[in-house]
Amino acid sequence: MIHIKSASEIAKMRLACALTAQCMNIVETMIKPGVTTREIDKKIEDFLKVNGATPSFKGYNGYPASICASINEQVVHGIPSSRKLLSGDIIGIDLGAYLDGFHGDMARTYAVGDVLDDVQLLIDTAKDSFDAGLSNMVVGARVGDVSASIDAVIRSRGFTAVRSLCGHGIGRALHEEPEVPNFGTKGRGIRLRSGMILAVEPMVNQGTYDVYSLQDGWTIVTADGKLSAHYENTVLITDNGPQILTIA
Ligand code: MF3
Ligand code: CO
């Protein structure tokens, strides 16, 4: 069942998503060589607590941390650790605030210090493919229109869209129907309606789209060890077009 949000639910989603975006602004200031992903995790957990919220991910299917921190060939769901960021790394941070019964969800990929131009292009492609998807998030369009437009940008840059992980509906649950794949066929899938809230999250690989899970049971890595970038926002569909809710 796809849940269409009421005005009061949308109001609460706005607050959860705004707090999520405030978290990401804090993360952005912390991305420097020498910082550990555990330090970032702690800062966000504390910030959420002070603001009357909890991390959406902690305890989700047993996930052990407040944020996901995925470095280089790690695609998503990297567990924060004592690993220090190094100049030349790229790091995907995925986080969500659970506030007053509703979840926000967003992700960004940052370059640490200086990275090569083709690495910056990978990071930019994650955002650009999201933006292409966003432009199709209008009432009456289909999920396949969103998915196909994301993949078209990724392919045009010579990269690949991860296929085994998807965007999703979001609200009282972190993951609701429908799934929003990052590849697909225009004209297929359910129609978008006003009041739907979707987390759209392209995961873009330099090489093969194949991924696998590490022994820790969480970290997803590229099969060929090449880099991956992730970009995500929570988006409300309205009669006047899409609205990104994960904005501070
Ligand atoms: N943004 C991620 C997703 O939508 C959430 C991380 S999953 C968790 O899948 F288990 F780590 F919480
Ligand atoms: Co998500």
* Residue-range domain boundaries for the chain: 7-244
Helices (runs of H) and strands (runs of E) counted in the chain: 4, 17
Q: Which atom of ligand 1 is nearest to the CA of 68?
A: 11
Per-residue confidence (pLDDT) for residue 53, from 0 to 100: 99
For 7-244, the fitting CATH number among 3.40.50.300, 3.30.470.20, 3.90.230.10, 3.30.230.10 is: 3.90.230.10
Separation between Cα atoms, residue 212 and residue 218, nearest integer Å? 10
For the record, the structure tokens of 194 come out as 């006003």
Separation between Cα atoms, residue 114 and residue 111, nearest integer Å? 7
- Does the CB atom of residue 60 touch ligand 1 within 6 A? yes
What is the Cβ-side half-sphere exposure of residue 241, based on CA atoms within 13 angstroms?
5
How high does pLDDT run on average in the chain? 98
Q: Which atom of ligand 1 is nearest to the CA of 56?
A: 12
Per-residue confidence (pLDDT) for residue 62, from 0 to 100: 98
What confidence category does residue 192 fall into, taking pLDDT thresholds of 50, 70 and 90? very high
Per-residue confidence (pLDDT) for residue 212, from 0 to 100: 98
- Cβ–Cβ contacts within 10 Å for residue 84, how many? 15
- Residue of 45, 74, 77 to test ligand 1 pocket, by largest number of atoms within 8 Å of CB: 77
- Residue of 56, 58, 68 to test ligand 1 pocket, by largest number of atoms within 8 Å of CB: 68
Section 128-141 average pLDDT: 98
Per-residue confidence (pLDDT) for residue 67, from 0 to 100: 99
Section 6-12 average pLDDT: 98
- Residue of 54, 76, 98 to test ligand 1 pocket, by largest number of atoms within 8 Å of CB: 76
Task: Tell me which residue has its CA closest to atom 2 in ligand 1.
Answer: 94
Tracing tokens 């899938």 back to the chain, one arrives at 189
Alpha-carbon separation of residue 58 from 74, 85, 238 (angstroms): 19, 22, 30
Per-residue confidence (pLDDT) for residue 56, from 0 to 100: 98
Q: Which atom of ligand 1 is nearest to the CA of 168?
A: 4
What confidence category does residue 195 fall into, taking pLDDT thresholds of 50, 70 and 90? very high
Q: Which amino acid is at 241?
A: G
Section 187-214 average pLDDT: 98
Separation between Cα atoms, residue 216 and residue 222, nearest integer Å? 15
Are 28 and 40 in contact by the 8 Å Cβ rule? The answer is: no
What SS3 state is found at 219?
Answer: coil
- Does the CB atom of residue 23 touch ligand 1 within 6 A? no
For the record, the structure tokens of 87 come out as 């100049």
Give the bridge partners for 36, in sequence order: 84
